[in-house]
Amino acid sequence: MGLETNRKLSGIGASEGVAVGSVFVHAPGELEPERGGISAGEVEGEIQHFKEAVASVVKSLGETSQRLADAGNDNEAGIFEAHAELAEDPELHSSVEERVRNLESPESAVISVGEEFAAMFAGMDDEYMAARADDVRDVASQIAAEIMGHEASALATLDTPSVILARSLAPSDTARIPKGIALAFVTAEGSATSHVSIMARSMGVPAVVGAGPGLETAFAAETVAVDGGEGYIITDPSPETVVEFEDKQRRMEEERTALDEYRHTEARTTDGQRIEVSANLGSAEEAEDALAWGAEGVGLFRTEFLFMERPELPSEEEQYEVYRRVAEAFGGKPVIIRTLDVGGDKNLPSVDQPEEENPFLGWRGIRMCLDTPELFKPQLRAILRSAAHGNVKMMFPMIVDAGEVRGAREIFDECRKELDEEGVETGPVEVGIMVETPAAVLGAAEIAKEVSFFSIGTNDLVQYTLAADRGNERLHRLQGADHPAVLKLIGMTCLAAREAGIWVGVCGEAAADPALIPKLVRLGVTELSMSAPSIPRAKKVLSEI
């Protein structure tokens, strides 16, 4: 394969597996509005046209979601359900209608508004939230296409098993592909948390995303070899490379079969030490999939998407319903809900957020919540109520000292008192913190007196310890949790926890790294939380320590 380095293109390994197949290029081009403006007499009719297009798209998305749910694909079904909600977003509607009343055509208005919303998401530093930009663009494009009467993508008629190459792929694109036709996905854009990555993992299809503009050079290839684990492709591979990939595929299938036996076993080291292996979730729809992979709980339930995908703040009742669904899905297994972790780089409606030069060092996480109890209290009340339906725990993000923990707990206790006085049922909730700052590590002994557990967020801990922006590709060598300074901080956290009699988990990317898992366990970590498909391998690694 060394002779083929000039035909090798690297990206992000988004879904494990390898494949070799014919190339199908999905290049629909930018959707262009057919009309720029309309006359004053057309306004009401065009607004009605827009509403009818939305209704048609919502109906189609709902049917797709139901079809996937009926087939047992709850994870994918949830994506289309969320897209239907986006299509009905009141702020999207009001923004489009305002433009139409200013004599802009509805197709032009919805594309422009969709791009504005997408740009807001794309500018966020949180990878999961930034990946939602594609969802907004997808929904806006579907509505605009419906207004203009455009036909569906050629993906729907693809009948030859192929490796699909594209600048980007939206969930609506992948949903159109006939079953068994997609051998692999390769996109120029995207991240490991974008929905093409989620869909690929759910479908069991290899995927490489974020390959960059250079992917266009592969569009002329006849065949391509894809390694979704290592994150690279080879265009027009030699017969020797094809044989190598076939051998790799056979070995991976054997490994996958061998890992299946670890899915639903308790994770223990060879000397019997119990290590809990949990899942990181971003929505209630991911719960069943995580359980199927063998999750022993939820080590991190991100609540940001619940807040960020809408123009108004979610009510206490809406939050309660989401947290309750997750708690009930996991029964007696622990579900750790992280309180809202947004900041100056992620605008929230109804919250006056200042412009900040460095949002990662700004008004984010617990700092914002302590300053805005009207934002914080409904979430705390919802968490307390959901605890009546399962084993719910809660953790505060971006803590730097014990004073912040005491301040947050005071508000938490107020909420419990209010609910008790109202006669509303609640449940016990253990409280912990995210250890993401060196300050939290240095103050861990004092902080430990206030909480029941620590959960180390290695992604931010690495960033703050090494002064290296986690999104800066040039600083890749400074973005690993295996750096001696980071490991020393993890060890210090575990020592302080052990002396206080509380436990320590890890919910950053390091938790799923086979090379790091033994080091984390030896340092004193007793819980690991990761993306669900990584769970069987992590359990196997633990069984060999």
Half-sphere CA count of 80, side-chain side, radius 13 A? 25
Residue 346 has pLDDT above 60, yes or no: no
Same domain, 296 and 381: yes
User: Is 512 a member of any domain?
Assistant: yes
Same domain, 387 and 450: yes
List, edge to edge, every strand of the sheet that includes 162-166. 8-10, 232-235, 223-227, 18-26, 162-166, 182-187, 207-209, 12-15
Q: Tokens representing 93? A: 């509607």
Between 126 and 17, residue with greater pLDDT: 17
Report the CATH number at residue 63.
1.10.274.10
**Residue 83 appears among annotated catalytic residues:** no
Same domain, 273 and 255: no
pLDDT tens track for 246-303? 999 999 888 888 899 999 999 999 999 999 999 998 888 789 889 999 999 999 999 9
Catalytic residue among 93, 195, 369, 389: 195
pLDDT tens track for 404-458? 999 999 999 999 999 999 999 999 999 999 999 999 999 999 999 999 999 999 9
Catalytic residue among 369, 415, 494, 507: 507
**pLDDT mean across residues, the chain:** 87
How far apart CA 487 and CA 482 sit, in angstroms, is: 6
How far apart CA 162 and CA 180 sit, in angstroms, is: 9
The residue out of 259, 280, 307 marking a domain boundary is: 259
pLDDT of 312: 77
DSSP states along 421-438: HHT------EEEEEE-SH
pLDDT of 422: 97
User: Is 242 a member of any domain?
Assistant: yes
How far apart CA 545 and CA 538 sit, in angstroms, is: 11
User: Is 35 a member of any domain?
Assistant: no
Q: Which H/E stretch holds residue 186? A: strand 182-187
Query: Can you tell me the mean pLDDT for 481-510?
Result: 95
Same domain, 209 and 280: no
Same domain, 59 and 7: no
How far apart CA 433 and CA 538 sit, in angstroms, is: 24
Same domain, 412 and 512: yes
pLDDT tens track for 94-142? 999 999 999 999 889 998 988 888 887 777 666 666 667 777 887 888 8
The CA distances from residue 71 to 64, 65, 66, 67, 77, in Å, are 11, 10, 9, 6, 9
**Residue 195 appears among annotated catalytic residues:** yes
pLDDT of 2: 47
- Residue 131 lies in domain: 40-148
How far apart CA 124 and CA 140 sit, in angstroms, is: 20
